[in-house]
Structure 1
């Protein structure tokens, strides 16, 4: 089975997560199929907290990939951000 999940990076006590598509048999930070975004829970000020390639996320969801609980919340948050912000050229 394929999951959309978080892969941890960053320094100690300063986490930074990649949103990746990976086989469930691989370790959390192991090899992934595709990187579709990132999540920075420690973002401050004008730095970007969340970026998701929604087209690729929709593609993988249509192929049967299952998001983890946290990633499902982040995808919903990214959809809200996209709806709230004006289209960028």
Structure 2
């Protein structure tokens, strides 16, 4: 089972809000996930990224791979949360 750190979309039409989740790579985008490790709000100025760094490090240590988009978003994330 390949585990990925990726986004799942919430919000309504034209008003996206995303959770950063850990899920099986074969699951649907908004399907079942293993853990929520943060949020991403692209509509705020500046963009708001909140990440639980303890959970992130734990899942990366277990071998979860972030998607390209999540990798770029995590670069913007604050180091404490």
TM over 0.5: yes
Q: Does 1:59 align with 2:58?
A: yes
More helix by share: 1
**Structure 2 residue matching 1:30: 3-state secondary structure:** coil
TM-score in terms of structure 1 length: 0.81
Separation of aligned partners in 2, 1:19 and 1:52 = 8
Aligned-partner SS, 2:6: strand
The structure number with the bigger radius of gyration is 1
Shift of 1:43: 1.4
For 2:34, the equivalent position in structure 1 comes to: 33
How far residue 14 of structure 1 moved from its aligned partner, in angstroms, is 0.5
- C-alpha displacement at 1:55, in angstroms? 1.1
1:44, distance to aligned residue in structure 2 (A): 4.1
Structure 2 length as normaliser, TM-score? 0.89
